[in-house]
Amino acid sequence: MPLIVPVLDDRSFEDLFLELRNRIPVYTPEWTDHHDSDVGITLLQLFAYLGEGLQFRFNQIPEATHVAFLKLLDLPLRPARAARALLRFESKQAAGVRLYMGDQVKAGKVLFTLTQELTVWPLDCVAVARRSLLTEQELAQPGKVGEFIAALDAGVRSAVQASVDAVKLAQGNDETVAPYETVTMGSDGLGAAIDFSNTVDQCAWIAVLAPKEPAIAPALLADPVQGLKRIAGQRLPLSIGFSPKAWFPSIDEAPACGHEAPSLAWQASLAQSKADGSVDYRTVRVAGDTTQGFTCEGTVQLELPADLAILGVPAAPAGLAGTGNFPPELDDDRAQRLWFWLRVWRSDGSRIGEVQLLTLNATSCEQVVAAAAQLLGTGTGQPDQAYQLADAPVVLDDRYPVEVQVEEQGVWTDWLRVENFDASGPGDPHFAVDAEAGTVRFGARAPQLGERIRVNRYHTSRGDAGNVPPQSIDKLGATLPSPVPPAPLRRPQMPPGVKLTNPLRAYGGLDSESMDAALRRIPTELRRNWRAVCQDDFASLAKETPGLELARAECLPLFHAPSRERKPGCVSVIVWPARDPQHPDSPLPDAWELAQVCAWLDRWRLVTTELYVIPPTYRRIAVAVSVKVREGYGLDAVRDWVDVLLRQYLAPLPPYGPDGRGWPLGRRVLARELEGAAMQVEGVEYIESLRLDFATPGANGQPETWSSTEVLKIADWEVPALAAVTVVDDLTPLPAPGTGVAPPPTRPPVAVPAPREEC
């Protein structure tokens, strides 16, 4: 919406006078002379004049002043943010189906636009991890592998021992082998996530399979060139979609801003073995990678070798299948459809973490819709002309430009979009766009009288409405001409044999900024001038990270997060997400959110600033309180209200906490302070006793221990996390420290089936 100054009362002098005069017959019917010469009418005119002056002052409220400042400073409301999603396609056409950047897909009535080109092939895949059954420390212990094999069942033990003997014989040495188990994940993204951090080879394996259709699979496996109807020597492009499982790094695992993403190394297995019988692999060219080395959701574009016939899986010698460089084995019907294997690893030696989706025929889309060309109007020759677009809010992005043309002397001329007119001269053909309001404005140089103005292209988004659930995007909309030539023809219907869906939820969509939020950011906008220098600059800029909704951000100057020490030039920013279903009471940002904030702040920091974006560190506490309940109040109701109030008082997010901004960083927790908070509950006569417990993490995997204190001092980068609240009456003794934090220990449960009753 545009910045409109609110008017609380818009009545003029005439309106007030007419309203007063019209009340004369109602209250004083004997008053019949309503002419200006009457003294009473003169008094009413005086009251109307005074009332108009009061209304003028009444409308000059602080909100109106702030809105005027926003307009004066050229600070419009922020527009909606487009949601993003990862799509997976399926096709039965052997020649493949070509989709272009700009094609539209639908989730009900919500339209999405493809951001990448894609060729959908009749192929399937399955991701495989060779998960190690022993840790690195156990593998280094002599005889540990032998003990592990000896503990297996007889049938499994003989097969494993045969493979171990075959490996040692083939290698000609007696090196220790690494036993592993094969873990598979389907390509639909509906199965459990796979952890590639504890594999024996640091690799992720992808089996490329022929489709289940009997009309395609045999021909493809026999002759891939003819089966896929490819021209000999033409490379086959593959698009692999990747999405990591959300993980919440600690303060030690959060990387420094500005670090380079790791690169990926890809290889494809060849059908012909080497001379020594081992498997041969061919390096696969990476045409594009939006996953940043398998660290965030995106796609990897691969180009297979020109000769597709060389790809395949050679037969392994007896006992060597799945060992060494030989790919893992598939023990189900998918082994009959196996074409070749892809293996990928990070070249810097780091390991790929947990993955929730790894699939073929994937591409990305955004909830962005292209608007039709429009004629905005004709120029007036006056400065500061503004014209309304048909659709709003507008997406301002380099990938989605706003193209405006003005007809100058019969020729349509392109004008340049700028953020503001600060650097624009009187002869520069510049225009600015208020994305939230959907208006086009012209500066010092304006369209002259009679010159027509048109907009050829711009895009809009529906914000939060684009965050659709999984399996919602299932239809292909009208295919629009691609901005990159050659432009495809329009396809109003889905090509035959093509299916699509979004295996995961769409994310990142945000609605337009509210007026209250815009008014609150006026002081920070004036102070920082889009540079992160002071402590408040980092915190306010972090909360404005595009595509994220953060509830709180705090800056720790001179704090070096990895060492927990004060160092010159270091700045650490702690962020809290607005929503975290996995940790509702102590929210944590995941790795993707930290990376987004890090990339955003990296644009505004000084070159000499070493910046860290870290999650909050929580100190687990528990509170046990004994209360005296007033007569007429129930213990259960008082207990619930004390629990709620203490949780709100110790909450890390606003509008809770001691001052309504969340619990301050590093502020110590006092037992007597919590007593005062509990006394605010109606129905509490007095606090009999209150105990504050805190947890100390155990070393070497040992369970945490709980202790009591009156004053809990926490570090400058920590906040308390309330693990449990126990409320009892004044006659019941307080339980032991740590009670209610975890279920009590018990023996391992064993299910006993109940006998079925029969008549």
pLDDT of residue 367: 93
Q: Calculate mean pLDDT across residues 10-33.
A: 87
Q: Calculate mean pLDDT across residues 552-562.
A: 93
Instruction: Assign residue 602 the CATH number of its domain.
Output: 3.30.300
Distances from the Cα of 593 to the Cα of 248, 254, 260, 486, 600, angstroms = 10, 11, 17, 37, 11
Q: Calculate mean pLDDT across residues 554-573.
A: 92
Instruction: State yes or no: pLDDT of 1 exceeds 50.
Output: no
3-state secondary structure of 235: coil
β-partners of residue 360 are 240
Token digits for 315? 């037969």
Q: Calculate mean pLDDT across residues 568-588.
A: 91
Q: Which of 56-60, 105-109, 169-173 has the highest mean pLDDT?
A: 105-109
- At 242, is the pLDDT very low, low, confident or very high (cuts 50, 70, 90)? very high
Token digits for 95? 């020649």
pLDDT of residue 366: 94
Asked if residue 169 is part of any domain, the answer here is no
Asked if residue 525 is part of any domain, the answer here is no
Instruction: State yes or no: pLDDT of 580 exceeds 90.
Output: no
Q: Would you call 248 exposed, middle or buried from its count of C-beta atoms within 10 A (0-12, 13-18, 19+)?
A: middle
- At 388, is the pLDDT very low, low, confident or very high (cuts 50, 70, 90)? very high
pLDDT of residue 5: 52
* Share of residues in the chain with pLDDT > 90 (%): 33
Cβ-Cβ contacts under 8 Å for 102 (sequence gap 6 or more): 113, 114, 370, 479, 480, 481, 482, 483
23 and 111 share one domain: no
pLDDT of residue 493: 55
Q: Which of 460, 492, 521 is the last residue of a domain?
A: 460
- pLDDT higher at 599 or 138: 599
Asked if residue 140 is part of any domain, the answer here is no
β-partners of residue 369 are 460
- At 8, is the pLDDT very low, low, confident or very high (cuts 50, 70, 90)? low
Asked if residue 161 is part of any domain, the answer here is no
Q: Which of 337, 360, 383 is the last residue of a domain?
A: 360
Instruction: State yes or no: pLDDT of 491 exceeds 70.
Output: no
Whole domain around residue 681: which residue ranges? 618-729
pLDDT of residue 665: 94
Token digits for 178? 């690494």
Alpha-carbon distance 622 to 695, whole Å? Answer: 8
- pLDDT higher at 498 or 440: 440
- 532-536 long-range contacts, CB within 8 A, separation 24+: 532/601, 532/604, 532/605, 532/606, 532/609, 533/606
430 and 472 share one domain: no
Q: Calculate mean pLDDT across residues 163-185.
A: 72
Distance, C-alpha 291 to centroid of its chain: 14
Asked if residue 138 is part of any domain, the answer here is no
390 and 347 share one domain: no
- At 487, is the pLDDT very low, low, confident or very high (cuts 50, 70, 90)? very low
Cβ-Cβ contacts under 8 Å for 125 (sequence gap 6 or more): 187, 206, 207, 208, 209, 358, 359, 360
Q: Calculate mean pLDDT across residues 288-316.
A: 88
pLDDT of residue 455: 94
- At 430, is the pLDDT very low, low, confident or very high (cuts 50, 70, 90)? very high
Q: Calculate mean pLDDT across residues 249-265.
A: 80
- At 273, is the pLDDT very low, low, confident or very high (cuts 50, 70, 90)? confident
pLDDT of residue 340: 92
pLDDT of residue 351: 87
485 and 405 share one domain: no
Output the average pLDDT for the chain: 84
Amino acid at the residue 683: G
pLDDT of residue 63: 64
550 and 496 share one domain: no
Asked if residue 68 is part of any domain, the answer here is no
642 and 668 share one domain: yes
Q: Where are the alpha helices (DSSP H) in 484-552?
A: 515-520, 522-528, 535-543
190 and 294 share one domain: yes
- 582-587 long-range contacts, CB within 8 A, separation 24+: 582/246, 582/248, 583/248, 585/647, 585/651, 585/721, 585/722, 586/616, 586/618, 586/652, 586/721, 587/551, 587/652, 587/653
Q: Which of 89-93, 698-702, 734-738 has the highest mean pLDDT?
A: 89-93
Q: Calculate mean pLDDT across residues 561-570.
A: 91
pLDDT of residue 685: 92
Instruction: State yes or no: pLDDT of 170 exceeds 50.
Output: yes
Amino acid at the residue 188: D
Closest CA to 536 of 560, 520, 549, 548: 520
pLDDT of residue 64: 66
Asked if residue 167 is part of any domain, the answer here is no
Q: Which of 598, 614, 630 is the last residue of a domain?
A: 614
β-partners of residue 669 are 712
375 and 259 share one domain: no
Q: Calculate mean pLDDT across residues 678-692.
A: 91
- Contact predicate 221/124, CB 8 Å: no
Token digits for 303? 């180009």
pLDDT of residue 745: 54
Instruction: State yes or no: pLDDT of 293 exceeds 50.
Output: yes
Cβ-Cβ contacts under 8 Å for 259 (sequence gap 6 or more): none
606 and 655 share one domain: no
242 and 326 share one domain: yes
Alpha-carbon distance 727 to 701, whole Å? Answer: 31
Instruction: State yes or no: pLDDT of 743 exceeds 70.
Output: no
Q: Calculate mean pLDDT across residues 128-149.
A: 80
210 and 303 share one domain: yes
Instruction: State yes or no: pLDDT of 748 exceeds 70.
Output: no
Q: Is the dihedral of CA 116, 117, 119, 120 positive or negative?
A: positive
Q: Calculate mean pLDDT across residues 132-145.
A: 78
- pLDDT higher at 73 or 391: 391
- At 721, is the pLDDT very low, low, confident or very high (cuts 50, 70, 90)? very high
pLDDT of residue 484: 38
Alpha-carbon distance 627 to 644, whole Å? Answer: 15
Q: Which residue do the tokens 């049938």 mark?
A: 155
Distance, C-alpha 133 to centroid of its chain: 33
193 and 323 share one domain: yes
pLDDT of residue 535: 87
Asked if residue 366 is part of any domain, the answer here is no
Q: Which of 52-61, 81-90, 168-177, 724-733 has the highest mean pLDDT?
A: 81-90
* Share of residues in the chain with pLDDT > 70 (%): 87
Q: Calculate mean pLDDT across residues 27-43.
A: 88
| Among 49-58, 134-143, 181-190, the least confident range | 181-190
pLDDT of residue 488: 42
Phi, psi angles (nearest 5°) of residue 49: -65, -45
Q: Calculate mean pLDDT across residues 485-512.
A: 71
Instruction: State yes or no: pLDDT of 181 exceeds 70.
Output: yes
Q: Calculate mean pLDDT across residues 488-501.
A: 64
Structural domain tally of the chain?
Answer: 6
